[in-house]
Amino acid sequence: METVSREFVRAAPRLDGMVVSAVGYRTAGENPGFHRGLPSPYLTLIFSLDGPVVTGESPEQAGGPDASRTDIVVGGLHQSPAYVVRPEHEAGIQLAVHPLAARALFGVPAAELADDLVTSGADVMGRRAADVRELLCEQGGWEERFASLSAYLRQRVAAEDTAGSVRPEVAEAWAWLARHRGVGTLRGLSRHVALSERRLTTLFRAETGLSPKQAGRLMRFQRARGAVARSVAAGVAPDLARVAADCGYYDHSHLVRDFRQYTGVSPSGWLAEECRNIQAGSYGGGEE
């Protein structure tokens, strides 16, 4: 019986805040199944180094003929989990990309990536992205791969035509939500950026694909999920009531509600699925 191995290597992104986290991963000896790709306040960019990433909106879709299959994944901001086929072995680099960097890195606003569960990176970024993926597959170490990918993304930023850039009110609204860690009222936010609630929501959704309220909920959930994962990594049972209070939830039940929406299961159910990956280092890091 093949021994299960899990390797997760983190790099410090150096792309002026456009990339929030970068993780190289390699696993082997896994029992085939499904992994839940959870919603977050960041876009997802994956360069697979070991066969296509296969995803669907449900386990049935992911395991059937309608599944999405792509070697380079670009994922927008979503409100429900993606189901990713977990093969016996896989490897790749996954980046969490700031949604307001979508124009600079992908040439389109994040809202244009929200309609589909995932988009082929080659379709968004062109043939050069496929060439870079082949280079990453040929390289022998994570440090070299991270350097090559960073250089490629910097070239894209330098060359990309960013006409129709992010409106300053939207950028400041996102920064305000981030400073308040997803906690705050739409009224307070609209006053801060000097726009009506309706106008702000329209502009914010046109740029990101989400309303300010939805983005705030994702930020709050991201923080809560990180706190739960850190407890598990430290060998301590998470105190969900304390996590809820610390992360701005009204009460424990509201945290459980968000877990069920964003993961499809309860907090304990998600932990049962992800405990080994958390302990191996797949969570935490620069996304807080």
Query: Per residue in 225-280, pLDDT tens?
Result: 999 988 888 888 889 999 999 999 989 999 999 999 999 998 888 888 887 777 76
Residues 161, 107: Cα–Cα separation, whole Å: 7
Nearest C-alpha neighbor of 213 from the set 258, 263, 151:
258
More confident of the two residues 274 and 134:
134
Asked if the model's pLDDT at residue 288 lies above 70, the reply is: no
Q: What is the pLDDT of residues 86-123, one digit of tens each?
A: 999 999 999 999 999 999 999 999 999 998 989 999 99
Confidence label for 161 from pLDDT (cuts 50, 70 and 90): low
pLDDT for position 57 = 94
Average pLDDT on 150-171 reads 86
pLDDT for position 287 = 47
Q: What is the pLDDT of residues 172-224, one digit of tens each?
A: 999 999 999 999 999 999 999 999 999 999 999 999 999 999 999 999 999 99
Q: What is the chain's mean pLDDT, rounded?
A: 91
Q: Domain 214-280: give its CATH superfamily.
A: Homeodomain-like (1.10.10.60)
Q: Which DSSP helix (H) or strand (E) runs through 22? A: strand 19-28
Q: Which residues, 6 or more positions from 105, have their beta carbon under 8 angstroms from its beta carbon?
A: 18, 45, 97, 153, 156, 157, 160
pLDDT for position 93 = 97
More confident of the two residues 152 and 6:
152
| Topology, domain 5-159 | Jelly Rolls (2.60.120)
